[in-house]
Each structure stands twice: as structure tokens, then as C-alpha cells.
Amino acid sequence: MRMTVFGATGGTGAHLVRQALAAGHHVTAVVRDPARLGQAEHPRLEPVVADAMDPDAVAPTLAGRDAVISTLGPRTRGEGSVCSDGARAITTAMRAVGTRRLVVVTASGHVVDGGDGPFTRAVVKPMLRRYLREGFADFARTDQVVRDSGLDWTIMRPPRLTEGRRRPYRTAVDRNVRGGITISRADLAHAILAALENPASIGHTIGLGY
């Protein structure tokens, strides 16, 4: 599969690029600094420096690709619109070049649904919304941009991300995972690739957790 990855030098993106290359995929990594990729000499890795917020700049990186993955996220707490601005640019460019398959990572924290237990609904998530208001608002906007894109989308909704090792994890379709309060970035990357290759995930959100 030929895929384009946004956020390829971030915590999740780096795992995703490594796992995708190991699985035999061709990866175009849209980055600010190719040196941060760490494996820029890989024969199936194409680093491209482009502004992820500019549809015209990213369109050439999407043409002819089988899929696009966004793991974009803020580098600092004050960057309150990185995910949604990136999603708008990416979906606009995808429609322009005719690439349809899209997987975007947001989070589970801004969503309260039947997968959450009573304590999480009543205490944990109201507390998180108070302290992470801007980030959660950005995730909510991103979800809406992706849903309205008209593309073949999947939204990944992980809980708190860790640097832990790969181990068995749980997923749930269109709901959060009960009691799933963490997942490693390595396992999130694995789940992204699994969803990408599963047509049944199109048009759905995927909750994750241990």
C-alpha cells in the first residue's frame, strides 16, 4: 500500500512509520524536518517537507496514494487548532486529487458515550474537559471535519498515550472502551494499520484501550 503520513515525527507517527515500513508499505512522510525521521534512507520511505495546513502544498503528496493517515497533534498546549486545521487542509487536498481513504487520530477524552463507566462519565471526563478544554474542542472540530469530508474515513479514539511496549489491547466500534484508560503509542500505531486495512472500519470511530 502507498500511504501518506502526517505527524510522522511525533510519538505515534514515528511508531506508525516504522511499523508500516516493516509491513512492506510505501510511506510518504510529510514533515518539517526530515532529519527527525531517523530512517530517511529507507528505500520505501519518501520524506517531503510541506506545510500540513496548506491544501495546495500537501496535494502533491496525496495524489496516487492508497491512503492518508493523520497523527497530527499540538507540540505545545497553546496550539489549539492544529488537528482541525490540518484535517481541513488534508481533506480538501484529498478531494482535489481523488484520494479517498483517510484515518485520523483524535482522542476518547472529549467523548462521553455508553462505553464509559458511571465514574468516568460523572467525575473523570468533566474534570478533563475543565483542564484540557482547548485540546478537546480541537478534537471535536476535527471529528466533524472528517465526518463531513465525504471521504472513506476512520477516526481513531485512543485514551491517554504512553511509551509502553506492545501488548494485547481492546477496541470498540463507535464507542469508548470500558476501563481503557491508557494505550501505548506503539499499539495505537498497530491499530491504525489494522483499521486502514479493514474496509468495515470505514465510516466509524474506533475506541481503544487496555
| pLDDT tens, residue order, the chain (210 aa) | 999 999 999 999 999 999 999 999 999 999 988 888 877 689 999 999 999 999 999 999 999 999 999 999 876 655 679 999 999 999 999 999 999 999 999 999 899 898 888 888 777 887 777 777 788 899 999 999 999 999 999 999 999 999 999 999 999 999 999 999 999 999 999 999 999 999 999 999 999 999
pTM score of the predicted model: 0.93
Distance between CA atoms of residues 78 and 200, nearest Å: 36
Distance between CA atoms of residues 88 and 195, nearest Å: 21
Q: Could you say which architecture CATH assigns to the domain 2-209?
A: 3-Layer(aba) Sandwich (3.40)
What pLDDT is attached to residue 137?
92
Residue 145 burial (CB < 10 Å; 0-12/13-18/19+)?
buried
Grid cell for residue 90: 488534508
Beta carbons within 10 angstroms of residue 202's beta carbon: 15
